[in-house]
Amino acid sequence: MSRLGTRGLVLNEKLLFELSDSGRKGYSLPASDVPPAQLDAELVRDAVEGFPELSEVDVVRHFTRLSTWNYGVDSGFYPLGSCTMKYNPKVNEVACRRPGMANLHPYTPDHLAQGALALMYELQEGLKEISGFPALTLQPAAGAHGELTGMLMVRAWHESRGGGRTRVLIPDTAHGTNPATAALCGFEVIPLASGPDGVLNVEDVRAKMDDSVAGLMVTNPNTLGLFESQIREICDVVHEKGGLVYCDGANLNALMGIARPGDLGMDVMHFNMHKTFSTPHGGGGPGAGAVGVCQALEPFLPAPLVVKTEEGFRLDDDRPQSIGRLRAFNGNFGVMVRAWAYLRSLGGEGLKRSSELAVLNANYIRARLEKVFHLPYSQRSLHEVVFTDKNLGGDCHTLDLAKRLIDYGYHPPTIYFPLVVHGAIMIEPTETESKQVLDEFCDAMLAIAREAEENPELLHEAPRCTKIGRLDETRAARQPRLCWQA
Amino acid sequence: MRYLPHTDDDIRQMLEAIGVSSVDELFSAIPAADRLQRPLDLPPALSEPDLLRELDRLAELNTSSTRALSFLGGGAYNHFIPAAVDHLISRSEFYTAYTPYQPEISQGTLQAIFEYQTLICQLTGMDVANASMYDGASATAEAALMAVRATRRSKLLLSAGLHPEYRQTVSSYCRYLGLELVEVTLAADGRTDLAALSPVLDTTVAAVIVGYPNFYGVIEPLADLADKAHACGAMLVSATAEPVSLGLLKSPGELGVDIAVGEGQSFGLPVAYGGPGVGFFAARKKAVRSMPGRLIGETLDKNGERGFVLTLATREQHIRREKATSNICSNQGLCALMVAIYLALLGKQGIRELAEQNLAKAEYAKRQIASLPGFSLPHQAPTFNEFVVATPRPAAELLRTLEADNILGGIDLARFDAADANRLLVCVTEQNSRDDIDRLVAALKGGAA
C-alpha cells in the first residue's frame, strides 16, 4: 500500500479576532473580596481595542483545529539535519509539570529551593562528564544564546590579557548564527573554507591564525555530519598562536560517550539541550543552551552559578570577572528538568547507545540512497548525511523534492544548508527511528527520484495533499502584513 | 532501552547493508586517540517509576506556591492558569513541531503566532510585534541594540527603576560594542527622576529605557519621558515585566513609546523557577526592518488562499550572516502559543477585570501594611500589583520569621542593593485572597518586634 497522502477532512478556521462576539469571556475570576481601587484617570486606558471575546469552547476548538494543520515528531518522521528532532519522552513533560518544580518562584531563598538547585547541580555535573569540560553554566536560553555567552567569555578572556584581538575565524560549514554571534561580540568575521574532503585543514587554519585573531568557531561533528579529524592539531595551532577554540555543540548527539570535545582541546562549547537532551522544539522553543568551558574561562562564566557547599546548594553571585548575566533569573529551568529526566532515564550506557544508533541510522539511509542521490563527500558520515539534487531529473530541485516528500507523509529534511553544498539535502534520522521507518522513508525518496524522471510535474506542483499549496513568500516580504486588522 | 526501537536483528541487517561488521566501525573517522576510552561516569539508568520517585523527592525540598502563601513577584508572577492552556499546548502537533520552515505543514503554528503578534500589538498599542524573544531581560537588551542601529547613536540611559537583572543583561549584551550605559536615578516618589534625566540626555543618546511599571511596582510617567527623549532624537523603550498591568494602564504606544518590550510569563506560564519565560517585543511600523527575531506574515498560496509564512528573514542569519540584526535563531514558540491561548480566554473583559483585581488586592495589602507600627511605604507614586515596604528590622530577618508561618512574604531588596536591607518588595495577585493578605499582615506585625 502506498504511503502517499490520501483524502481527509481539513477544515478552515478563521482568526481569533474574526471569531469574536461581543460579550463572551472564557475566563473566570474569584469574586473580589477587597474594596475596589482606582488609579488616576490619566493613567488608565480604554478597553484593549481589538482583543477577542470568546468562550472557553471557542478557544479550545480554535486551537485544536490549528493543531491539526501542524506536523510534529509525534505525527511522523522528522529527519531535519542539524536540528536533531528525536522522539521526546512523555515522562519529561510530566516531570517539568510537577507542582513542586513548576510553581517554584525564582526568588525563593536558596534554602527553600534545595530540590531545584540539586537538580541543576546534578545536570551540570552530568553535562560536564559528557562533554569533558570542567566548568559549566545552565543560564543561556537557547543554542544561539549559548554561542553569545561563549563568545563573550572568549572576548573577556582576551581583554583580561590585554585585548587587541578583534577577528574570529569561521568555517563555511558553520551555522548561520555563528557569524552573527561573533559580530555581536564586536568581532570581525574571517571566513575559512573547508577542504575538498569537507573538513578543516590544519594548514589552512595555521595560515590564517595570527595575533589579531581571537579564535576559531567550529562545529564538530560539522554540518556535513563529518568529524573534524584534525581537530586536535587545529586546537594546538590556535592555542600556540594565542587564540581559543569555540565548539558549536549542535551536533553533540553523535558523540555522547564516544568522544568529548573538552578532551580534544576545545575551550568552550554550547549544548543545544533541547536537541540532544530531548525537550520538544515547540514550534520554535523554548530550548536551553548550557555552555561548558575550560578551566581558564571558568572565572568569566555568567553569574549566578549553582555551587555545592557543606550547608547545601547555593546560587553564587560573587563572581567579579563574570561577563554578567544574559537573561533574568536562573535559565530555562523547565527545560533543565526535562534534560535531567532524560539523563537519568538513559544513564551513561543509554546515552552512548543513543549516539551509536543515531549514527547507524544515518549511515543506513546513506547506504540505501547513495546509488541514486548524489553524495558530495565520501567520508564516513556520523549522525547526519548530506546529499545534493545533482542527480535529480526533470529539472527538479531540492525544494521540489522536499515539497513532494510532504505528500508522502514526511517532514522534509533540512534543505539548502550547509551553504557550501549546492542544492543540499541534509538528513538526520536520530536514534529513535526504527529500520522500518527508515526503509519506508528511503522507498519514498527513491520513488520521488523516479517521479522526477518520469513525471516531474508531480514534484513541481507538490505538495498536493496539504491544506494549502506553496505560498507566495515574495508577496509576504514585499507587502508585510504582520498583524491582523479589522 | 525504552526510547530505542532497534532489535538485534535490525542492527545486523543495517550493518550488512552499510557494509561494516560493527557499529564501532562507523566511528572510524574519529582518530583512536580522540575516543573516550572508558564508560561515562553517570548514575545508572532509572525506570520511569523510579525516575518520578526521585523527582518527587527533590520537589519535596522546594517551597513552591503550592505549599506556601506567596507574595513574591519581581518579574515572575503567580497568576492563575486556566486548565485549557496546558491542555491545548499539550497537543503534540504543537509541542513536537519544529520552527515552521515548511509552511504547508506548519500552518497551525504560523497562524497561532500571527495571532500572538496581533494580541501583543493590541496590548502594547504598537504596530508590529515579533514572534517572541527568550525573556523580558534579553528582549530589553535587543531593544537597546535596535535603538542603537536605528539612531546610529552610542549612549543608552537606563532607569534605576528598570529590573536589576534586565539592566545587567543589557550591560552584558553591550559589553564589547563600544556603547556607553548611564544609569538615571529614581526620584523619592519611586519614578524615574526627570530632573536627573535632563543633564545626561543629549544628542548622543540612542534610547532611554524604563520599566513600566518599574521594578518597584511604580507606574512611570511614559508620556513625559517620551517627550524628553524625542526632543533629543532619542527613542523611548518601555520594559514591562508584569504585562497584566497593560489591561488597565494606558498602552506604551498611546504614550509615545518607540519600542515596547517585556516578559509574557504572567500570561499562562508557570513561574518555573524563572524559566522558560517569553519575551515580547513590539515597535512602530517604520522600524520593522531593523527588528530582531522572527516575524510571521500573512500571504496567499498559489490558489489564492490565505496562509502564513516566516518573513523578512533577510534580517536574520540566513543570508547576510554577520550583518544580521541579531543572533537570535529560535524564539519561544510554544510559550508564545501559551500567551495567545491565555489572552484569547481572557479576552477584552477578562484582561480588564484581572488587572483591576490585581490592583485592588495590592492596594488593600498596601493600606494594611502601611498601618502597622514601624512599617511605611517609601514610594508615593501610584503602583500596580507590587510595592516597596520599609521594614522596622532587616527584611531578611523578618522574612525568616514569616517562613515559620509558611509565608513567602516578599523579596528582600538587599539582594540587589545592600543599602536596601530594610526594604521588602511585596506582590499581590488575584491568587491571594483577603484572608491570605490578612495573614501576611498579621505575620508582619508579629515579626516586626
- So what CATH class is B69-80+348-448? alpha beta
Q: Is the pLDDT of residue A8 over 90?
A: no
Nearest partner of B390 among B366, B358, B406, judged by Cα = B366
ipTM above 0.90, yes or no: yes
Q: How distant, in Å, are the alpha carbons of A200, A235, A261, A263, B294 from that of B36?
A: 22, 18, 10, 9, 39
pLDDT tens digits along B258-292 = 999 999 999 999 999 999 999 999 999 999 988 99
* A407 belongs to a structural domain: yes
Instruction: Read off the pLDDT of each residue in A170-179 and give the average, rounded to a whole number.
Output: 87
Per-residue model confidence (pLDDT) at position A2: 61
Residues of A with CB below 8 A from B26's CB?
356, 359-360, 363, 380, 382
For residue A279, what is the nearest residue in chain B, using CA coordinates?
B96
Domain match, A171 and A309 both: yes
Domain match, A223 and A308 both: yes
Q: How confident is the model at residue B447 (pLDDT cuts 50, 70, 90)?
A: confident
- Helix (DSSP H) and strand (DSSP E) numbers for chain A: 15, 12
Interface of B with A in 330-389 (CB under 8 A): 330-337, 340-341, 343-354, 356-357, 359-364, 382
Positive or negative, the CA dihedral A467, B103, B98, A375 is positive
Domain match, A231 and A373 both: no
Domain match, A108 and A187 both: yes
- 3 state DSSP class of A142: coil
Domain match, A400 and A325 both: no
* A227 belongs to a structural domain: yes
Nearest partner of B431 among B84, B79, B72, B64, judged by Cα = B79
Q: Is the pLDDT of residue B129 over 80?
A: yes
Which candidate in B90, B110, B134, B251 is best for mutational testing of the A interface (most A CBs within 10 A)? B134
Q: Would you state the cell numbers that stand for residue B58, as one nine-digit string?
A: 527533590
What's the mean per-residue pLDDT of chain A? 95
Distance CA A51, CA A149 (A): 38
Q: How far is B392 from chain A (nearest CA, A)?
A: 21
Domain match, A60 and A96 both: no
Per-residue model confidence (pLDDT) at position B318: 63
Nearest to A95 among B55, B295, B330 (CB): B55
As a whole-number percent, the residues of chain A with pLDDT over 90 amount to 93
Instruction: Read off the pLDDT of each residue in B234-244 and give the average, rounded to a whole number.
Output: 98
SS3 content of chain B, % helix, strand, coil (to 5): 45, 15, 40
Residues of B with CB below 8 A from A129's CB?
40-42
Domain match, A336 and A366 both: no
Q: Is the pLDDT of residue A1 over 70?
A: no
CATH of the domain at A178: 3.40.640.10
* A118 belongs to a structural domain: yes
Interface of A with B in 198-227 (CB under 8 A): 226-227
Residues of B with CB below 8 A from A80's CB?
98
For residue B311, what is the nearest residue in chain A, using CA coordinates?
A477
Which residue is listed with cell 552559578?
A305
Per-residue model confidence (pLDDT) at position A486: 82
- Give me the DSSP letters along A392-457: --TT--HHHHHHHHHHTT----EES-STTSTTEEEE---TT--HHHHHHHHHHHHHHHHHHHH-TH
Q: How confident is the model at residue B319 (pLDDT cuts 50, 70, 90)?
A: low
Per-residue model confidence (pLDDT) at position B320: 63
- Give me the DSSP letters along B83-133: HHHHHHHT-HHHHT--SS-SGGGBHHHHHHHHHHHHHHHHHHT-SEE-S-B
Over the range A76-88, which residues count as b (16 or more CB within 10 Å of their CB) and which as e?
Answer: bbbbbbbbbbbbb
Strands A188-192 and A167-171, bridge-based pairing: parallel
Residues in chain B: 449
Topology of domain B83-343, per CATH?
Aspartate Aminotransferase; domain 2 (3.40.640)
Per-residue model confidence (pLDDT) at position B93: 97
Under an 8 A CB cutoff, do A326 and B108 touch?
Answer: no
Residues of A with CB below 8 A from B31's CB?
229, 232
* CATH 3.40.640.10 location in chain B: 83-343
Contacts of B21 (CB under 8 A, 6+ apart): B15
pLDDT tens digits along B5-54 = 999 999 999 999 999 999 999 999 999 999 999 999 999 999 999 999 99
Please, are residues A54 and B344 in contact by the beta-carbon 8 Å criterion?
A: yes
Q: Which domain holds residue A161?
A: 90-346
| Adjacent-strand bridge partners of B157 | B182, B208
Per-residue model confidence (pLDDT) at position A181: 93
Domain match, A254 and A193 both: yes
Domain match, A103 and A212 both: yes
* A75 belongs to a structural domain: no
For residue A406, what is the nearest residue in chain B, using CA coordinates?
B105
Distance CA A89, CA A249 (A): 22
* A76 belongs to a structural domain: no
As a whole-number percent, the residues of chain B with pLDDT over 70 amount to 98
Strands A291-293 and A268-271, bridge-based pairing: antiparallel
Distance CA B169, CA A262 (A): 28
Under an 8 A CB cutoff, do A282 and B433 touch?
Answer: no
Looking at per-residue confidence, does A174 or A55 come out higher?
A55
Domain match, A126 and A211 both: yes
* CATH 3.90.1150.10 location in chain B: 69-80+348-448
Residues of B with CB below 8 A from A472's CB?
299-302
pLDDT tens digits along B181-220 = 999 999 999 999 999 999 999 999 999 999 999 999 999 9
For residue A199, what is the nearest residue in chain B, using CA coordinates?
B29
Interface of A with B in 66-105 (CB under 8 A): 66-75, 78, 80, 83, 85, 87-89, 91, 93-105
Please, are residues A397 and A462 in contact by the beta-carbon 8 Å criterion?
A: no
* A289 belongs to a structural domain: yes
Domain match, A342 and A366 both: no
Distance CA A144, CA A289 (A): 7
Instruction: Read off the pLDDT of each residue in A321-329 and give the average, rounded to a whole number.
Output: 97
- Note whether B22 contacts A: Cβ–Cβ < 8 A: no
* A296 belongs to a structural domain: yes
Nearest partner of B51 among A339, A128, A215, judged by Cα = A339
* A80 belongs to a structural domain: no
Domain count for chain A, please give it: 3
Domain match, A260 and A119 both: yes
